[in-house]
Structure 1
Amino acid sequence: MLSGSLVSLRDMPEPTEDVTFHDEDWYAEDLADRHFVNCTFHRVDLTEATSQGAVFEGCTFGDVAFNVSRHADSAFTRCAFVRCNLFEAEFTGCKLLGSTFDRCDLRPLTVTGGDWSFLTLAGGDLRGARFTGVRMRETDLSGADLTGASLTGCDLSDVQWRGARLSGADLRGSDLAGLDPATVHRAGTVIDVMQAATLARALGFDIRG
C-alpha cells in the first residue's frame, strides 16, 4: 500500500520525494535508476530485489527485508536502516555515506568496492562478512562483532574500533591508521608484514633491521 494513494511503483514520476511505503511487496523488484528522497519504507519486502544506479537520499528503512538483494552502483546516503534483514545481500560499487544501521541482521553481508565512509555499524553482528576494496573512512565499528570477517584492501583509516571483535578477521592490505590494538579483541586477527610494522610503531616500538 502506498500511503495516501494506490499509485503503483512504476507509475510514479521521478524523483519520488517524501512518500511513505507501508507493507509493500516488492519481491524481486527492479529498482534500476530510481531516485527516492526523504522517503520511508516500512515492512517492505525487497527480497531478491535489484538496484542498478538507484539513489536513496535521507530515506528510512524500518523492518525491511533486503534478503538476497543485489545492489550495484547505487547510493544510500544519509539513510537509516532499523531492524532490517540483509541476509546474503550484496553491494557492489555502492555509496552508503553517513548512513546508520540499528539492530539489523547483517549476516552474511558481501560488499565489493564503493564508499561506506562515515557510516554507523556500532554493535553490529558482522561475523563472516566480506568487505573487499571498500572505502570506510571514519566508519563507526565500535563494539561490532567481526569474528571471521574479511576486510581486505579497504581504507579503514580513522575507523572507530573500540570494543570491536576481530578474532580470526582478515585485515590484510587495508589501511589501519588509527587502530589501537589494545582496544579490540584481536586473537587470531590476520594482518600483513607492513601492517604489523605500522601497528608496532603505533604502540611505540622502535623497529630496526
Structure 2
Amino acid sequence: MARRAAAGGGTGRSRGTGAGAAKVRAARRPELRLPPLTPYEDGGLEPDGDYDALEFRETDLSGQDAAGARFMDCALTGCALDGASLPRARLLDSVLTGVRGVGTDLAEATLRDVELHDARLGGTQLHGAVLERVLVRGGKIDYLNLRRSRLKDVVFEGCVLVEPDFGGARLERVAFVDCALRQADLSAAVLTDVDLRGAAPLELSRGVDRLSGAVISPPQLLDLAPVLAAELGLRVVGEEE
C-alpha cells in the first residue's frame, strides 16, 4: 500500500481564550509512499478497469471512458483529462501532478488517500463523490462541482478555487490553507470542523447561513459582515442618514 494517513496540518489550535474555548479538529493528511511503478503503455482506459502501481506520464486521457475503474498506487503526471469520463471511479493511494483538463467527469467517484498537485482544471464534476484524506495543493480549479459530496479530512492548500459548488455537501475536518476561495456556494451544506481562516479571499455567493460548524478569523468576520447583514435582513444606516 502507498499510504498511511497521519494527523497534522497545523489546523488544530484552540480558538479564543479561557477554559471554554472551542477547538477545531485538524484534518488528517495523506502520507503516500508509492511502490515501484510500471510505465503505462496500453492504448486506452476501459470501463471497470483495474490499474495498479502504474505511472501515467504525459498521457492523453482526453475523452477516455473509464467509468467504474479502479486506480491504486498510481501516479498521473502531466496528463490531459479533457472530457474524460470517470464516473464512480476509485482513486486510492495515488498522486496526480500537473493534470489538466475541462469537463472531467468524476461523479460519484471515491478519492481516498490522494494528493492532487498543481492541477489546472475547469468544470470538474465530483457531485455525489466521497473524498477522504485528500490533499489539493497548488494550481487552479474553476467551477468545481462538489454538490451532495462527502468530504472528510480534506485540505486545500495554496490553490485557487473559483466558484466551487458545495451545495448539499457534507464537510468534516476540511481546511483551507493559503487558499483563494472565490464565490463559493455553500447552500444546504453541513460543515463540521471546517477551518476557513486560511482562505484569502473568502467569498461566498450563497450559503452564508451554513457557516455554523466552521471557524473564521476576526478580519474575515469583518469582510463577511455585509453578506451576514443581508442574510439577516439587517439594514446598516449611519446616524446622519
Q: TM-score range by the shorter chain?
A: 0.7 to 0.9
CA distance in 1, matches of 2:144, 2:208: 23
Task: Look up the equivalent residue of 1:184 and give its one-letter code.
Answer: R
Q: What pairs up with 1:92-107 in 2 under 5 angstroms?
A: 92-107=117-132
- 1:86 paired with 2:111, answer yes
- 1:177 paired with 2:203, answer yes
> TM-score under structure 1 normalisation?
0.82
Q: Deviations over 1:22-80 (max 9, x none)?
A: 33221011001101221110332211110111111101103322101101111242111
User: Deviating runs (4+, > 3 A) in structure 1?
Assistant: 179-182
**Native 8 Å contact 2:98 2:120 kept in 1:** yes
**Native 8 Å contact 1:167 1:185 kept in 2:** no
**Native 8 Å contact 2:124 2:144 kept in 1:** yes
**Native 8 Å contact 1:21 1:40 kept in 2:** yes
Greater alpha carbon shift after TM alignment, 146-155 vs 131-140:
146-155
Aligned to 1:16: none
Q: What is the CA distance between 1:179 and its match in structure 2? A: 5.1
CA distance in 2, matches of 1:43, 1:148: 27
Q: What is the CA distance between 1:177 and its match in structure 2? A: 1.9
CA distance in 2, matches of 1:21, 1:163: 36
**Native 8 Å contact 2:86 2:106 kept in 1:** yes
SS at match of 2:184: coil
**Native 8 Å contact 1:180 1:202 kept in 2:** no
CA distance in 2, matches of 1:180, 1:62: 27
SS at match of 2:148: coil
The structure with the largest strand share of the pair is 2
The count of corresponding residues between Structure 1 and Structure 2 is 193
Q: What is the CA distance between 1:99 and its match in structure 2? A: 0.9
CA distance in 2, matches of 1:148, 1:179: 22
CA distance in 2, matches of 1:24, 1:74: 20
State which of 193, 200, 204 in structure 1 corresponds to 2:225: 200
Aligned to 1:124: 149
SS at match of 1:136: strand
Task: Look up the equivalent residue of 1:70 and give its one-letter code.
Answer: V
**Native 8 Å contact 2:188 2:207 kept in 1:** no
CA distance in 2, matches of 1:11, 1:147: 38
Unaligned runs of 5+ in 1: 1-8, 13-18
Q: What pairs up with 1:132-143 in 2 under 5 angstroms?
A: 132-143=157-168
CA distance in 2, matches of 1:59, 1:129: 23
Q: What is the CA distance between 1:191 and its match in structure 2? A: 1.3
CA distance in 2, matches of 1:105, 1:111: 14
State which of 45, 61, 66 in structure 2 corresponds to 1:36: 61
State which of 46, 61, 70 in structure 2 corresponds to 1:21: 46
Task: Look up the equivalent residue of 1:10 and give its one-letter code.
Answer: E
> TM-score under structure 2 normalisation?
0.72
**Native 8 Å contact 2:195 2:216 kept in 1:** yes
**Native 8 Å contact 2:186 2:207 kept in 1:** no
Task: Look up the equivalent residue of 2:112 and give its one-letter code.
Answer: F
Task: Look up the equivalent residue of 1:176 and give its one-letter code.
Answer: L
Identity of aligned residues (%): 21
Change (3 A) 1:196 1:34: same
SS at match of 1:86: strand
Task: Look up the equivalent residue of 2:125 and give its one-letter code.
Answer: T
